């Protein structure tokens, strides 16, 4: 079974509400597309706290939705920690690199595919400015080699005006995944 991994840092009630909305929308969309798929191909939705990274879980995810605050013009430290904890382990070894154990194999955890054009999108909620956070998210996800599957939801201020956008973003990521498995 494939899964959509939703990784977020949501330390406040407002942010937990955003995460809950995205999770519910993704689960509803997955439930809908799963009715058209054999059990082995169905999509599950998983949630991951950004402070608890899991390299294998990220590597094996069919798609990813990321959620963060914009803090001091950047993504949350928690999401940055998630990226820092997973990125290098998913990188191919440099040519001529000798593994730490002195052997000739590849580093533990590397499977030969960094991003494999993994589908993704994200939301960023800022208090006053999201410019630096968007720039960081674009650079980091580009480094992973992921493919944007749905328009990100980026905003400042209140959440209420963005409920439909958040729902649509989650649904569109599921829809993009569904399109890849039914081609």
Residue spans of the domains in the chain: they are 2-91+113-181
Tell me what pLDDT residue 183 has.
86
- DSSP secondary structure string for all residues of 121-155: EEEEEESS--HHHHHHHHHHHHHHT-EE-S--EEE
Per-range mean pLDDT, top range of 25-34, 82-91, 92-101: 25-34
Q: Taking a C-beta distance cutoff of 8 angstroms, is the pair 42, 64 a contact?
A: no
In this structure, how many other beta carbons lie within 10 angstroms of the beta carbon of residue 118? 21
Architecture of domain 2-91+113-181: 3-Layer(aba) Sandwich (3.40)
Beta bridge partners of 3: 44
DSSP conformational letter for 90: G
Quote the pTM value: 0.88
Tell me what pLDDT residue 170 has.
99
DSSP conformational letter for 119: E
pLDDT of residue 117 exceeding 90: no
pLDDT tens, position by position, 99-109: 555 554 444 44
pLDDT tens, position by position, 23-39: 999 999 999 999 999 99
């Amino acid at each position: 079974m494939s899964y959509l991994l939703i990784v977020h840092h949501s330390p406040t009630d407002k942010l937990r509400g955003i995460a809950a909305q995205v999770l519910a929308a993704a689960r509803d969309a997955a439930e809908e597309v799963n009715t058209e798929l054999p059990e082995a191909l169905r999509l599950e939705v998983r949630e991951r706290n950004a402070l608890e990274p899991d390299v294998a879980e990220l590597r094996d995810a069919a798609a990813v939705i990321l959620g963060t605050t914009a803090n001091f013009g950047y993504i949350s430290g928690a999401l940055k920690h998630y990226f820092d904890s997973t990125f290098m382990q998913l990188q191919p070894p440099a040519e001529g690199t000798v593994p730490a154990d002195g052997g000739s194999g590849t580093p533990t955890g590397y499977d030969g595919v960094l991003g494999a054009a993994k589908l993704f999108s994200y939301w960023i909620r800022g208090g006053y400015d999201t410019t630096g956070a968007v720039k960081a998210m674009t650079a980091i996800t580009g480094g992973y080699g992921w493919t944007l599957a749905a328009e990100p939801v980026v905003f400042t201020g209140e959440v209420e005006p963005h409920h439909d956008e958040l729902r649509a973003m989650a649904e569109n990521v599921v829809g993009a995944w569904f399109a890849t498995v039914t081609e």
